[in-house]
Structure 1
């Protein structure tokens, strides 16, 4: 009997605990006419949200606008180049011998034809003396044969005279070769310019093919640099380039493109370019590293602050204001610099474009200019 009493009591406790935890079902509440304060509050909040939503639909979105304007964009290529002298030479020995005299003072200015170095030339002098003596002998022989033949001497035949004349020409050639060998014992400057460092001293034995000094004519420099594939449209012979160097910070030197390669490098995808820079004052040195700039302005293009561009699945777009409503138009960004972009679009110049607040807009949303003076909207 006691068990039968406890069972209904336990069930009652469970039902009460369920209602306390999860609340009364709506059906039960309507049947018993109970409307809790919580239910009334929830209904009021829902109605408030619905009313607020309707208010937002009707209310215009405040945005910042500006007219679409066109301006040129300065295409600027920045790269690094190395300078060399327009005229330069490595003075190389053509003979082997002992140095007996040098004029290789570093950084000295020389003119073309100046003596740089002398080798021991005693052997060459002797060879020249021998060749000259043989020449004199051959010349005397020819003159004697000619005189005898002219006097009617029949012992001097035409063959004999011809052989003497050949010997004369050979002797003249030997003299020329001896003179050339003697001249080559003296090294002359092949160009005018400034001498580099040299380790050659009097008494040194130099060999044929050895570089003894460099000469640079730095009155004109050639800057060589690389231009990437995307910028090859900027290249043309005679185009101005601007160069600078850390040595003269803040100073800009002008040059002109003189040549560029006919093909792209297969690895770097760039083309080699050479530009000439006047260096009459000789401030710049061969071997310097330069920062190179090339600038070219485009035709006027539609331009806006970068904040005007929004993105969706279709790509970039801007919001144009037409009859007080925002209409999205797709655009292509051509260039970007700082906080401004240059675009490709069919929107007419002067059209009002949303530049701030575009992220809040939907197609055909009514908008109002946040910068407009307060008053009735038109």
Structure 2
């Protein structure tokens, strides 16, 4: 009889306790932890450089007789850019060519004489020396003559001209610049932490404030063999196609390098509760209580954070209302 009374008492109390529990439970939003696609990236600031870039200068001093610089226009490799006065060099080439031709004829006569007279061997050696000296002089003058004609060393775009036709130029005078802009060499630095993950051929995305919303994609071409001992970073060069010539040398670009693509656990960053040097989340139990659990964080994305350890796929965590609860608190879920 007494056992029956106790049973009725417990039955009568449980609804009240349940109501009290519900009244004391905290309203929260939760999220089910599940794996999703994650792109590991590292970001940096980079500078655009021309793939090939030179200053067009003179190697000799003389008057500028011809200037073929269309500023901002494309030229092909070998195309004429400037011409210096070369009258003296042409005359000298003609003189030495004639002299060389005469000396070669004399050399042939001495060779025929040496076949019958042994004493002619010394004359043969002397004449051969004269031919060699004249040939060397002719080669030197021809080289100087070629330097009076300035041609594009590679295909590219000409910059602003720095001289005028008819001016007397000294050796080393800058005429203009030449840049190969079809490919941009993007230079940026990456922290030492990511060095082992960097490889030539990786995809590089870049953007500029000059072209909002546009992404310029390229690939890593080279990684420096040395790190900066001050910043502990490594310099990286990437090649970015620039067919429309939108990018210019000297531009500042925002750079992101795709290191890896994988499936990883990600949750809302609002679920993270930082405490000193550690990070925690509130995991929902089957009885709607929560347990504060330490987690290790990985890469952060806008609004999301990767969970390296501490959670499993299928776990449920609190993402809103974390400031109102503690480990062991009862919750009422109002959304997921």
Distance 1:194 1:347, change over 3 A: closer
Question: Is 1:84 aligned to residue 49 of structure 2?
Answer: yes
Residues 1:341 and 2:326 aligned together? no
Instruction: Summarize deviations over 1:77-96 as a string: whole Å, max 9, x none.
Output: 33322222222222222111
* CA distance 1:245–1:319, shift in 2 (3 Å): closer
Q: Which runs of 5+ in 1 are unaligned?
A: 1-54, 373-378
- Is residue 2:85 matched to residue 1:106? no
**Structure 2 counterparts to residues 39-50 of structure 1, below 5 A:** none
TM-score if structure 2 supplies the norm length? 0.80
Deviation of 1:237 after TM superposition, in Å, equals 0.8
Compared with structure 1, are the counterparts of its residues 258 and 167 closer, same or farther at alpha carbon in structure 2 (3 Å cutoff)?
same
Higher relative contact order (CA 8 A, sep 6+): 2
Partners of 2:207 and 2:214 within 8 A in 1: yes
Q: Structure 1 residues 274, 129: closer, same or farther in 2, change over 3 A?
A: same
- Residue 319 in 1 paired to residue 282 in 2? yes
Q: Give distance in 2, aligned partners of 1:250 and 1:306.
A: 25
Q: Distance in 2 between matches of 1:130 and 1:292?
A: 60
Whole-angstrom distance in 1 between the partners of 2:277 and 2:254: 40
Which structure: larger Rg? 1
Q: Deviations over 1:177-228 (max 9, x none)?
A: 2222222222222112221111222232222223222112222221112223
Q: Which of 249, 262, 280 lines up with 2:243 in the alignment?
A: 280
Whether 1:294 aligns to 2:257 is: yes
Q: Which runs of 5+ in 2 are unaligned?
A: 1-18
Residue in 1 that maps onto 2:207: 244
**Offset, 1:259:** 0.8
Partner of 1:95: 60
Q: 1:94 to 1:62 in 2, by over 3 A?
A: same
Q: 2:162 aligns with which of 199, 208, 211?
A: 199
Aligned mate of 1:303, from 266, 270, 276: 266
Name the residue aligned to 1:182: 145
Residue deviations 1:136-158, cap 9 Å, x none?
332232233234445x4x48522
Distance 1:145 1:275 in 2: 64
Structure richer in helix, relative to its length: 1
- What SS does structure 2 have at the residue aligned with 1:85? strand
What is the root-mean-square deviation of aligned Cα atoms in Å?
Answer: 3.0
CA distance in 1, matches of 2:254, 2:299: 23
